[in-house]
Amino acid sequence: MSDGVEWGVHVCTLLAGLPDDAALPAAKLAEYHGVPAAYLAKHLQALAGAGVLRTVKGAKGGYRLAKPPADITVLDVVEAIDGAESAFRCTEIRRRGPLALPAREYTKLCGIHRTFNRADEAWRNELARTTIADLFLGLLQDVPRTSLEKGARWLQESAR
Amino acid sequence: MSDGVEWGVHVCTLLAGLPDDAALPAAKLAEYHGVPAAYLAKHLQALAGAGVLRTVKGAKGGYRLAKPPADITVLDVVEAIDGAESAFRCTEIRRRGPLALPAREYTKLCGIHRTFNRADEAWRNELARTTIADLFLGLLQDVPRTSLEKGARWLQESAR
């Protein structure tokens, strides 16, 4: 899984704290998370392309969530950035070697591949169960109050 | 996930078809699966190191399962080859940027990290539910009879 997944989920969780009509410039998102702006930009565009973020153009431009945070799951962010492919790489080695069969015999997915597909589904189901709203509310509980106030001030000064 | 995982699970499933006291040379395992012997050797050693395979020394040397196939799960093979680390890479970006807190404030795992840990656990639980015996029995059902007979002959000729 790429670094971008961690960044993307953090970005969305931060944007959940923005007022409805505001946006945060990409440079501010990079500054807040201490990550290279050029590399983060790529992931922000992927998130916008997948309908997780909305791009706001113009002088007041930047990014905001495209939907209410309760309607965005962690899986949405993961799939926007890393795609929907399973981590398991099946190269169909069953078709190689001295006992390989003619291609027409392989009508069914290999049992090994099916096992990894079930595991991948369990992984995705779990990530689909947590929303950006859950993570934002968790943050409000976990982070010390003085730090939340500092964060709120930063957001207010940085938002457009 | 590395290619080695696919290879390792296939190797264990094939070895489940060996008689109890027999072993298969590494070169035969590579030939059967049509994969480079030198690269497969690395994974076979990892599987032996993790107690999934047993190395048989001498003229009748090779590899066999170290335990009954019903006692080896797909997760055992995955962890022997790829380790037990989660696919999610947490670089603790919450500690960077202008709002970072002193290190002592981060007493609890970040909510985002916890979410990915739950997903990883669901993935591992699913892989721990399938054993090499399950995969071997599945193979006996899925593969055409003539091909099974060919496979059995190949095993008999190749086993030591």
More confident: B2 or B42: B42
Q: What is the mean pLDDT of chain B?
A: 91
Alpha-carbon dihedral sign for residues A8, A113, B86, B126: positive
Q: Give the position of tokens 């999934």.
A: B52
Kindly tell me if the per-residue pLDDT of A60 is higher than 80: no
Highest mean pLDDT of the ranges A77-81, A147-151, B94-98, B108-112: A77-81
CB B46 within 8 A of CB B82: no
From CA B27, how far away is CA A50, in angstroms rounded? Answer: 47
Chain A residue numbers with beta carbons less than 8 Å from the beta carbon of B147 are 99, 101, 105
pLDDT reported for residue B126? 97
Contact B65, B53 (CB under 8 A): yes
Average pLDDT rounded to a whole number, residues A123-129:
97
Q: Which pLDDT does position B16 carry in this prediction?
A: 96
pLDDT at B95: 83
What ipTM describes this predicted complex? 0.90
Average pLDDT over residues B56-77: 94
Note whether B126 contacts A118, CB cutoff 8 Å: yes
**CA nearest A6 in B: which residue?**
B90
Task: Please answer yes or no on whether B142 and A32 come within 8 Å at the CB atom.
Answer: no
Per-residue model confidence (pLDDT) at position A103: 85
pLDDT greater than 90 at residue B94:
no
* Cβ pair A112:B33 closer than 8 A: no
pTM recorded for the entire structure: 0.89
Give dist(CA A60, CA B147) in Å, integer: 67
CB contact under 8 A, B10 and A93: yes
The reported pLDDT for the residue numbered A64 is 96
**Nearest residue of A to residue B94 by CA position?**
A33
Chain B residue with CA closest to A120: the answer is B123
pLDDT in tens, A64-91: 999 999 999 999 999 999 998 887 888 8
